[in-house]
Amino acid sequence: MDYKHSPVMLNESIEALDIKPDGVYLDLTLGRGGHSSEILKKLSTGKLICFDKDEQAIIESEPRLSKINNNYVLVHADYMNIKDVLEKHGIKSVDGILADIGVSSPQIDDFARGFSYSKDARLDMRMNQKQKLDAHFIVNNWSEVELVEIFRYYADVMLPQRVAKGIISNRPIDTTLQLVNIIRESLPAAIVRKKNPAKAVFQALRIAVNQELDALKKLVNYAPKILNKNGVLAIITFHSIEDRIVKRKFGTFIKDDTGKLPIIVSKEWTVKTKTPSRNEIENNNRSRTAKLRVLKRRKD
């Protein structure tokens, strides 16, 4: 598939990374190479390590990147395993890290992948097609308590207990539209009329299938440790739960815990937050909830 979708907050991300031609950079969510392409264009002797757990993204990005230069390495891996991958490649520190968190537009648009609640397909939602756990297993095997927990913690699912009970009483459930109908039938008509309740349920299932929040927590705890002087960690999020994890962790780097006056401002770290331009939101609806948080190390 020749995918032409524009990456979210491209200019803001590249500007935030402040790329050095001889630097080492990580794109932890390669997708179809939109961000990576722009990073690669700015490298002369530097190196770019591109991660993606979706093998299809690796396959489709290779031709695009190879036309620019060969200063890149493609890694089929979850960025949860960032430490192991860097050790394998002999990299101890980097100048910049970019992560665009969540599902990609090509994954949503490929209905066979089971991410969409608007077209019928087998329940799947795996970013890594080689992993065993998928949405079909969760929907048909997890307990009511487990389902309610992810509905509450991973998304703003309305009346999560009713949705969980509806799922369990209608098993087996094989396809996306089967699940959508069960969700709608489990809730009062007033809620269904207000907004599509399937959106939040599908979000929760997708996050659970791909262990997205566990990976993000590991990232924000580990990545700052490997930044060089003036190194940058830039993370784009689309949901409040993801953004909250990033915001809280970044805040710990500049927070004054002494409780005394005068307040001491960190001289080692700076934090900035950016949102999409009005023009980008008008041209790319997916960007409307995006938020870019940038952590920069100012000294060793």
51 close to 24: Cβ distance less than 8 angstroms: no
Mean of pLDDT values over 66-94: 96
Q: Which residue from 53, 114, 39 is spatially nearest to 82, judged by alpha carbons?
A: 53
Task: Summarize pLDDT for 45-66 with one digit per residue, the tens.
Answer: 999 999 999 999 999 999 999 9
Question: Same structural domain for residues 37 and 124?
Answer: no
CATH code of 167's domain: 1.10.150.170
Question: Same structural domain for residues 240 and 102?
Answer: yes
Number of domains in the chain: 2
Amino acid identity of residue 77, one-letter, is A
CATH code of 282's domain: 3.40.50.150
Task: Decide if pLDDT at 1 tops 80.
Answer: no
Task: Summarize pLDDT for 115-156 with one digit per residue, the tens.
Answer: 999 999 999 999 999 999 999 999 999 999 999 999 999 998
Residue 2 lies in a domain: no
Cα(76)–Cα(96) distance, integer angstroms: 20
Q: Which domain-ending residue is among 178, 210, 242?
A: 210
Task: Summarize pLDDT for 81-92 with one digit per residue, the tens.
Answer: 999 999 999 999
Q: Which domain-ending residue is among 210, 244, 279?
A: 210
Q: What is the pLDDT of residue 260?
A: 54
For residue 269, give its domain range.
10-106+212-297
Question: Same structural domain for residues 225 and 87?
Answer: yes
Residue 4 lies in a domain: no
Task: Summarize pLDDT for 3-46 with one digit per residue, the tens.
Answer: 456 799 999 999 999 999 999 999 999 999 999 999 999 999 99
Cα(52)–Cα(39) distance, integer angstroms: 16
Q: Which residue from 214, 211, 218, 237 is spatially nearest to 101, judged by alpha carbons?
A: 237
Question: Same structural domain for residues 193 and 120?
Answer: yes
Angle (deg, nearest 10), helices 160-169 and 144-154? 140
Question: Same structural domain for residues 170 and 123?
Answer: yes
Task: Summarize pLDDT for 255-295 with one digit per residue, the tens.
Answer: 755 445 554 556 789 999 999 999 999 998 889 999 999 99
pLDDT class of 2 with cuts at 50, 70, 90: very low
Angle (deg, nearest 10), helices 160-169 and 176-186? 130
Task: Summarize pLDDT for 220-246 with one digit per residue, the tens.
Answer: 999 999 999 999 999 999 999 999 999
pTM of the model: 0.92
Residue 270 lies in a domain: yes
